Amino acid sequence: MKRNLLERLSKNFGEYLEGGCGYDVKIHVGKYYDQKTFEAHSMMLAARSLYFRRKIDDIPMNSRKSVIELRELEIPPNIFKPLLRYIYTGIVPLHNLEAEDFLDILCITNEPLLSDDPRSVVDFILAADKLELNELVNYLQNVLIEDRTEWLYKNMDKIYARISNHPSLKTFKNFYKDIIRNNIELMFQSDNFINIPLSDVILMVSRDDLLVDEVKIWNQVVKWCVSQFPDLSRNPEHWTSKECNNVRSMMENFIGLIRWKYISGDGFTSHVMPYAKIFPVKLYQDLVIYYVNKNERPRFLDLPRRVGKIESNLIPFKYASLISQWVEDQNEKSTWQWFASKKEVNTEKKTIQYRYNLLIRGSQNGFSKSDFLKAYLYKGPTITLVRLEGTDLIIGGYNPTPWTPSEKPDPRTRKSFIFAFDNVHGNPVEVGRISKIENSGTYPIISITDKGLKFGEDLSLTFADIQNEISSTLNYHSIEYTLLENVQKELENPIQVKDYE
């Protein structure tokens, strides 16, 4: 009943707006050939929008006319109309959230107001932000992120740069910053890169784990800087002195972040020397001397090589280094088999060629199948790690393909593998790893089942019942490839999972 009464109230206010009875405000919006005047009521505007309340209150009472005239020239009529209707009715102009084209925005009268064009949607949100319709702004940010993540990602180049300087759109900004952080190489080399704000580009280039060839980093930075000046020639030889100064002032943000000693002499000659005019003279001279005589080591060579990293509570850097090497090996070799005995891992710190971004942690995000699917679905390649209760054993697997809900994984997968670690006095001991059973055509594919995960045919992880349990269990079998016998003796079957990532 309460809902019905509110719907009736909303409808009545909508009719009040449409009827124009008793209006005391005229709002002129748009400019040039796209202008329109809307009639409204000062009481409603002041009650719903702090922006309009201030504008109305700023007009001295002794100079107010019977009809107040306001101008919002920067807001086009097709954007202002649904905003005004929202002010009166509280109806958020999103129609049919389940439909693919849910951004086709309709008013009560079924009149199309906005399409799913990202520019129009951003215009709408920015106008709502200007009018300080804070509840609407927050709602739109949350509903778009929750229900149209793919759409936001696809249109990042048309959205992120426009919203980045608006403090009230923090939810959007954090969403896009997470995309950049978790997909930094992809974003760095995408077409969207030139639209990323300066502050984010600086953060990207300064990261020690940006896994892109240094000369490509240089090329992308140059591309970004040049693109900030749309009329600038792409050939630096054609730049005027003023244009060189403009690019130089922009490049000053990045030159000190480039790891010069990891750009080859050929790379320097082909990709850096053409832009000699944008360098500080002394720095460029030092670079030329360095590439002529590698015994010269200026201070700007102190930055370390960029390497990968891992966000894990279960394994340290040295484990990740070994797993990275296995992934590389698997790209080159066709068969592996279990080691016949435990083998102590070389714990000397090495670089890792990949960044391992945490998608889910059981103790933090939950142990149910739905928790796993929400974090993993359609993402890949991935590493899954399982720490078992009452032991230092870690079971894991590498899946080179994106996860799907199907219980029938792609049999063509040839690069998956499973592995196990034991922790002895703080050093990882390699219990075993396998990619292909010797004299067999099968691979230990990691797949989703109705109860959990399967690591090949040997190990199965059963997720907890979200209503009754707080952890999961691991079951294993003795078939063609198996855990070492001495390891099996240490474990119960099934054994409880302490945590997984």
Domain finish residue from 112, 147, 182: 147
One domain, residues 275 and 400: no
One domain, residues 133 and 18: yes
pLDDT of residue 222: 93
137 within domain boundaries: yes
Cα separation of 351 and 321, whole Å? Answer: 6
Cα separation of 188 and 177, whole Å? Answer: 13
Cα separation of 113 and 90, whole Å? Answer: 16
Domain finish residue from 147, 171, 200: 147
One domain, residues 283 and 328: no
Write out the residue range of the structural domain in which residue 386 sits. Answer: 317-500
pLDDT of residue 360: 84
Which residues face 382 on adjacent strands?
A: 399
One domain, residues 223 and 339: no
Q: What is the pLDDT of residues 67-76, one digit of tens each?
A: 888 888 888 8
One domain, residues 283 and 349: no
One domain, residues 10 and 138: yes
pLDDT of residue 411: 52
161 within domain boundaries: no
270 within domain boundaries: yes
120 within domain boundaries: yes
One domain, residues 324 and 470: yes
Domain finish residue from 123, 147, 171: 147
157 within domain boundaries: no
One domain, residues 296 and 330: no
In 189-275, where does DSSP find H-type helix?
Answer: 198-206, 214-227, 241-251, 265-267
Distances (CA, A) of 142 to 174, 266, 471, 487: 12, 49, 30, 48
Helix (H, G, I), strand (E, B) or coil at 115: coil
One domain, residues 142 and 241: no
One domain, residues 229 and 349: no
Weakly modelled stretches of the chain, pLDDT under 50: 95-114, 334-349, 424-426, 436-441, 466-469, 476-484
166 within domain boundaries: no
Close Cβ partners of 399 (under 8 Å, ≥ 6 residues apart): 380, 381, 382, 383, 384, 416, 445, 446
Sign for the CA dihedral angle at 345, 350, 354, 359 comes to positive
Number of domains making up the chain: 3
pLDDT of residue 219: 93
pLDDT of residue 68: 86
pLDDT of residue 28: 92
Element (H, E) at 50: helix 50-57
One domain, residues 274 and 338: no
199 within domain boundaries: no
- Range list of β-strands (E), 400-465: 417-424, 427-434, 446-448, 452-455, 459-462
One domain, residues 274 and 395: no
